[in-house]
Amino acid sequence: MSLVPTSGYGVSELPPKAALARPRPPDEVPKGTNLLGVLLLIMADAMVLATLLAAWITIKGGSLSWPPAKVHLTTYLPSVITITAAMSGFSMAWAVSSIRRNDQRSATIALILTSLFGVAIVNAQWYSMVRAGFGIGDHAYGTLYLLLIGYHAVHQVLAVGALILVGSRAIVGHFGREGYDPMRAVAAFWYYSIAAWMLIMAAIFLFSRHA
Amino acid sequence: MSLTEVSTEEVEPHVAAPVAAPVVPSAGGGGAANDHKAVGGAYLGIALLFLVVGGVLALIMRAQLTSPDSTALTDQQYRSLFTFHGTFSVFLFLIPAWIGVATMVVPLQIGAGRLAFPRLQTMTLWLTVVGAGLVSATPFIQGAKRITTGWALDRPIPEGAAFRGKAIEYLLLGVVVILAAAVAASANLIVTIVKLRAPGLTARRMPLFSWSVLVSGAVLLLALPVLIAIMGMLFVDHHFGAQLFSGFTGSRGGNPEMWQRLFWFGAYPMLWALVLPVLGLASEVIPVFARRPIADRAKALGAMGAIGVLAFFGWGSEVTNLPRSRLFFAAGTLVVLLPVASVLVNWLLTLRAAAKERGAAELREGLASGPMLYVIGIVTVLAAGLAASAFSAIAAGRSYHANYWQIGQQHLMYFAPATLGIAAAAHFWGPKIWGRYLSPTAGKLEALLLAGGAHLAFLPALVLGLQHMPVETSAYTAGDGWQAANVVMTIGTAVFAFGTLVFILDLFFSVVLRRGPEAPADPWSGHTLEWTAPTPLPRHNFDRLPEVRSATPALDLHAAEGELDR
């Protein structure tokens, strides 16, 4: 039954005593598995954003007035969102590093602060959508504006939800120096969400004629 | 883990040694439903169902086109069938089929007891079922008759007043759900391959099928979200009356040219990602039946990786209105064929080396077995597909576009190899995963019917392409001179359909009804880790793993057992 091929590898490579190893226990999750999974989903997600931005740039390039004459948006709300997002990034970094240092008290403060920032961002985005003064079907500008902000709002809601789920585990002390993989995964998603906002903000407000 | 300290007393032939499992397995804390073998099998079941549905639609279309001046179907009916045939075949057959096979095989090949996220894969399975339900409901929803735009939804883009009705929304939602599930499933497979490989199974020693799944998963992960995004945008256009993809109407409108560009930016790499597992599978089967390792392993790994990268550089060749970058994309479609050809040559070199080492007579014996016959079929179909693709790449944008050349080329390159590959995978890994052989006699017949049918059906399409028969032709006159090739094409399609039917019946009787002969743990003297697992497979796959010191750990284990016997 055994079949030794005549070529392909040297005898020295054969195991000396048919050493058999125990397989990894099925319940053991190698370090970084959750993080890698989230990073891959972020990559896929970023392609959705890239497609929306590509559509924005394409349509903008082919249109005579962009935004349309009737659209009047200020940069006030988006600036507030941008600053809040940046602050939430710092507080998230603080939370992760507190958990890594087993500093339970700082972690609790930082996690609560981060989720409050997250809620504030969603709140401001909600206003920038309902007070935009145009609907999703009014013109291509409005469609893409609402899709982009909506895309980010959905991510922010998911991020806050994940943060509450995982963060509450952190607050009761499930994680520590030895293992905080789920927390790193949530943090990665949070940072992505901030980066996505910066791109959206740049596309909509920086390179256009908004006041 | 110190591997060499295991004493010789513990070493027993794995077939005869039912050792107590070292741990109580729960494979991720879920119930039995999260077993990757079962989930993959269910995926395959969905895929085969829609292979049949798509095939029946194809047969109806072929019946219409067999004779000139046929009036069985109206133009609208024909184009509607054409659209659903493509949609079912791509999104509900090709994608779930390969995700299913990969879900079943990859953990076994890399020596893992489970997927990285077992429950996630079950969730994607049910999402696929939901998406399949939405897409299948589409033909019965108001406005379905007007969905006549091809699976690329671009002739014309279905939006605006002409496409009133909810049908298109069902279609878009269904496809988006299926694609989102595929993205999550691909991510799961990638994490599994990266994180759960057995100790010693380095990237260079990775089984070629698992490698192809890794590359294909990465491509799907980047390409499918583009399709998700544009289908979402089209949904918004339709549902909320927006106009992202319709006319340049000043301040209101978007850009209709955007659809094709974004669609093919996602769909073109996706099609290559669905060819990659076929290449991986054949690179697995050929060495086993040639009884030697693949001729140049590094080249095979590199070529498959290159296909994954180059797949992103040919999308423009599918876009009808892209005058400026024509040359760039023609080069892109041509360059990606080189690594495909390199993999093909690698297979042939493996066979030649085997013939030299062991004599042609013995090699021929190995080649006549079920899985290998399929692979020979794959080689011939792929070779034809390569030639057709190269030709249309060189002539990109000329007359070979949007005519039957495209149909022939796409079916030879993407559809036929994938179908043959799935049947080959069932014959090759079936004995391991289900513990039963599929019928060897039926297998030979199936391989012959599927490969022969593919050539008969799709080579005449190339001829029709040279005769400039447009893709959407629903009827033609005798004066067009297209009948001869159309008749051959219909016969080929019928043969292919018959082959599919035999395959599915074979699968049903041998595996589902368990009438097939019981298989031992290592029926083919395989090379990779899955063949060292016991059959029938326990829930956690492996009680013990051989130490991985080469790309062929199963062979090493047999060799070492042989040494011990002596």
Indicate if the pLDDT at residue B229 is higher than 90.
yes
Q: Do B63 and B497 form a contact (C-beta atoms < 8 A)?
A: no
What backbone phi and psi angles, to 5 degrees, belong to B474? -105, -15
| Cβ-count burial A26-35 (b if 16+ within 10 Å, e if not) | beebeeebbb
Which is more confidently placed, B65 or B21? B65
Phi, psi for A129 (deg, rounded to 5): -90, -50
Q: Angle at CA A202, nearest 5°, toward A197 and A207?
A: 160
pLDDT of residue B467: 87
Determine the residue among A11, A22, A56 to mutate to test chain B binding: the one whose Cβ has the most chain B Cβ atoms within 10 Å. A22
A10 reaches B (C-beta below 8 A): no
Could you tell me the two tokens for B199? 């100790």
Residues of A numbered 108-137 whose beta carbons fall under 8 angstroms of chain B's beta carbons: which are they? 135-137
Highest average pLDDT, of B4-13, B97-106, B198-207, comes from B97-106
pLDDT score at A9? 38
Rounded to 5°, the CA angle B474-B477-B481 comes to 105
Residue B320's pLDDT band (cuts 50, 70, 90): confident
Tokens of A29: 């999750």
pLDDT of residue B556: 86
Alpha helices, H only, B154-294: 167-195, 208-240, 257-290
- Determine contact: A2 vs chain B, CB below 8 A: yes
Q: Out of B26, B199, B262, name the one closest to residue A51 (CB).
A: B262
Q: pLDDT at residue A110 above 90?
A: yes
pLDDT at position B38 is 93
- What is residue A58's predicted lDDT score, i.e. its pLDDT? 87
**3-state SS, residue A66:** coil
Percent of chain B with pLDDT strictly greater than 90: 57
Q: What is the pLDDT of residue B393?
A: 77
Chain A contact set for B557 (CB, 8 A): 15, 18
Least confident of A68-72, A155-159, B182-186, B541-545: A68-72
Contact (CB<8Å) B226/A63: no
Q: Chain B partners of A5 at a C-beta cutoff of 8 Å?
A: 291-293, 552, 555
**Nearest CA-CA partner of B283 in B556, B528, B546:** B528
Give the C-alpha distances (Å, rounded to integers) separating B291 from B354, B432, B524, B566: 7, 19, 10, 22
Average pLDDT of the segment spanning B488-510 = 95
Q: Let me know: does A140 contact B243? Beta carbons within 8 Å.
A: yes
State how far residue A147 is from chain B, nearest Cα, in angstroms: 8
Out of A164-173, B213-222, B499-508, least confident range: A164-173
Question: Two tokens at B394?
Answer: 């060189």
Complex ipTM, two decimals?
0.88
Contact by Cβ (8 Å): B46, B33: no
Q: How many CB pairs under 8 A join A and B?
A: 233
Report, as an integer, the average pLDDT of B358-381. Answer: 86
Q: What angle do CA B234, B238, B240 make, to 5 degrees?
A: 110
Which residue does chain B place closest to A67, by CA atoms?
B251
Q: Which has the minimum average pLDDT: B40-44, B500-504, B535-539?
A: B535-539
A58–B253: do the CB atoms touch at under 8 Å?
Answer: no
Percent of residues in chain B assigned helix, strand, coil, to nearest 5 = 70, 0, 30
Q: Which residue has the higher pLDDT, B17 or B80?
A: B80
Angle at A53 between CA A70 and CA B258, to 5 degrees: 90
Q: How far is A32 from chain B (nearest CA, A)?
A: 8
> Residue A15's pLDDT band (boundaries 50, 70, 90)?
very low
**Higher-scoring residue by pLDDT: B316, A114:** A114
Select the residue of B6, B258, B540 nearest A26 (Cβ to Cβ): B540
Q: Residue B442: pLDDT above 80?
A: yes
Question: For residue A21, what pLDDT is reported?
Answer: 65
Q: How far apart are CA B59 and CA B3, in angstroms?
A: 57
Average pLDDT, chain B: 87
Interface test with B, best of A24, A34, A151 (most B CBs within 10 A): A24
Minimal Cβ distance to A55: which of B8, B194, B244: B244
Residues A36, A38: Cα–Cα separation, whole Å = 5
Contact (CB<8Å) B244/A24: no
pLDDT of residue A112: 94
Inform me whether the C-beta atom of residue B386 falls under 8 Å from chain A C-beta atoms. no
* pLDDT grade for B329, boundaries at 50, 70 and 90: confident
CA angle B498, B499, B500 (to 5 degrees): 90
Give CA separation, B444 vs B56, B241, B415, B525, in Å: 23, 54, 20, 20
Task: Look at the block and give the residue holding tokens 């349309």.
Answer: A68
Nearest CA in chain A to B243: A140
Q: Which residue of B has its CA nearest to A50?
A: B226
pLDDT at B5 exceeding the cut of 60: no
Q: What is the pLDDT of residue B252?
A: 66
A 27-86 near B (Cβ less than 8 A): 27, 29-30, 32-33, 36-37, 40-41, 43-48, 50-52, 54-55, 58-59, 62-65, 68-70
**B7-11, B410-414, B476-480: which is most confident:** B410-414
CA-CA distance, B108 to B37, in Å (whole number)? 9
DSSP-assigned letters across all residues of B204-237: GGS-HHHHHHHHHHHHHHHHHHHHHHHHHHHHHH
DSSP for B461-482, please give it: HHHHHHTT-BTT-----GGG--
**Rounded to whole angstroms, how far apart are CA atoms B557 and A123?**
62
Examine the pLDDT at B59 and tell me if it is beyond 80. yes
Taking the Cβ of residue B184 and every Cβ of chain A, the question of whether any pair is shorter than 8 Å is answered with: yes
Residues 6+ apart with CB under 8 A from B387: none
For residue A12, the chain B residue with the least C-alpha distance is B549
Stated as kind and residue range, the H or E segment containing B307 is helix B297-310
Residue B250, pLDDT above cutoff 60: no
pLDDT at B367 over 50: yes
Per-residue pLDDT at A19 exceeds 80 = no
Contact B544 A40 (CB under 8 A): no
pLDDT of residue B3 exceeding 70, the answer is: no
Please name the amino acid found at residue B352: R
How confident is the model over A81-96, as pLDDT tens digits? 999 999 999 999 999 9
| Mean pLDDT for the stretch of residues A140-164 | 93
Which of the two residues, B566 and B16, has the higher pLDDT score? B566
Mean predicted confidence (pLDDT) in B198-220: 94
Q: Please judge whether A33 and B564 are an interchain contact, meaning their C-beta atoms are less than 8 angstroms apart.
A: no
Least trusted range by pLDDT, from A67-76, A196-205, B314-323: B314-323
* B403 phi/psi in degrees, rounded to 5: -125, -175
pLDDT > 50? residue B29: no
- The type of residue at B36 is H
**Residue A8, pLDDT score:** 39
Contact across the interface for B547 and A15, Cβ inside 8 Å:
yes
pLDDT score for B285:
94
Lowest mean pLDDT among B43-57, B157-171, B199-213, B288-302: B157-171
Q: How far apart are CA B385 and CA B373, in angstroms?
A: 18
Contacts of A182 in chain B (CB under 8 A): none
The whole-angstrom distance between A106's CA and the closest CA on chain B is 32
Does residue B525 belong to the interface with chain A, where contact is any CB pair within 8 Å? Answer: yes
